[in-house]
A and B are shown apart, each in its own frame.
Chain A
C-alpha cells in the first residue's frame, strides 16, 4: 500500500526527472486545498487565486531542491504562506482591523429582520451570527495566529506538521492556536451568554 506522502513523492521524482505532466497531477490534487488556505490569508478571491498560481510556479521552479524529508504538501503550504505574506507586504496591506472586517462582513450578512420576516427559526439566525462572528474574528487575527489555526482547524495538520510549515517550535504552534481560540471565543461570548432573543 502506498501512502499519500509516498505517492506524492513518486510524482515529485517524476517531475524532477523532467516529466512536467506529473506536476499537473500535483496541481490538480492540491489546487483547491491551497486556495482554501490562501483565501484565509488573502481575502479577495481573485487575489488569492493569483497567489495560488504563483505558489505553484514557485514550487515547480524549486522542486529540484525538494528531497522528500518533509511531506510535499507541508512544503507546498509553506511556499503558499510565504507567497501570501509577500503579496500582502507588496500590496502595502496590513491585517484588517476588527472594525473593518465587521463592517465588510456585515454587508454580506443577511439582515436579521428579514430573516424574522420569513419566520426563519431563531436557531438559524444564531448560527449565522456565530458564523459571521467567528469569520470576522478570524480575519482580524494577526497573520501568525490566523495561519496556525487555519492549518489546524481547516487543513487538519498536526502540531508537528504546522511547526514544519511555519518554521517554529511545536510549543509556539500550541500557543498560537490557543491564543487564536481565546480571541475568537471572546468575540463569541456576548452572542452565547446573551442569546439572540434576549439581545433586543
Chain B
C-alpha cells in the first residue's frame, strides 16, 4: 500500500468513526490535500447512495409461509444430554461469537 492509499484507508476508517486516535491527526492532514478531500467526498457519496437505494420488499404471503414452516417444527426439544448449565459447554464464550451456532445451523459452511 503506497502512502496515498494508506491515508485513504485512514480516511475510510475515519468516515466510519473507527480510526484509532493515533492516526486521527494524520487523517485530518490528508483531508487538507485534494486526494484526501476527493476520497472523503466519494466515500460519503457511496454511503448516501447505498442508503437511498430501496431494498426489495418481502412478498405479501411471506410471514404466513414462514409461520407454517415454523409450526411444522415442534417447539425446541431439549438438547440430548443438555445439563441445562449454560455456563458450561463448548458453545459458550468466543466459540459462539465465531459462530458455532451458525455453523451448526448451517453445517455446509466452514
Contact = CB atoms under 8 A, between A and B. Distances in A.
Given A49-B62, A78-B102, A185-B46, A39 B56 contact: yes
Interface string A68-105: 01100001001100110110000000000000000000
A52 B58 contact: yes
Nearest to A28: B63
Contacts of A164: 97-98
B2 interface: no
Interface in A1-55: 15-16, 18-20, 23-24, 27-28, 31-32, 35-36, 39-40, 45-46, 48-49, 52-53
Contacts of B53: 131, 134-135
A70 to B, nearest CB: 5
Nearest to B93: A69
Chain A interface residue number, banded? 35 or more
B83 interface: no
A141 to B, nearest CB: 12
B9 A62 contact: no
B102 A86 contact: no
Contacts of B96: 65-67, 69-70, 75
Given A58-B105, A159-B16, A134 B50 contact: yes
Contacts of A130: 45, 49
A112 interface: no
B106 A86 contact: yes
A174 B18 contact: yes
A131 B46 contact: no
Contacts of A167: 98-99
Contacts of B47: 153
A134 B56 contact: no
B46 A153 contact: yes
A138 interface: yes
Interface of B: 5, 8-9, 12-13, 16, 18, 39, 42-43, 45-47, 49-53, 55-59, 62-63, 65-67, 69-71, 73, 75-76, 78-79, 82, 86, 91-94, 96-106, 108-109
Q: For the complex of A and B, list the 4 residue pairs with the smallest distance between their C-beta atoms, beginning with the closest.
A: A62-B105, A36-B55, A58-B105, A45-B56
16 contacts: A31-B58, A35-B56, A52-B58, A62-B101, A65-B101, A67-B86, A82-B105, A86-B108, A134-B46, A134-B49, A164-B97, A174-B9, A178-B8, A178-B9, A181-B42, A185-B43
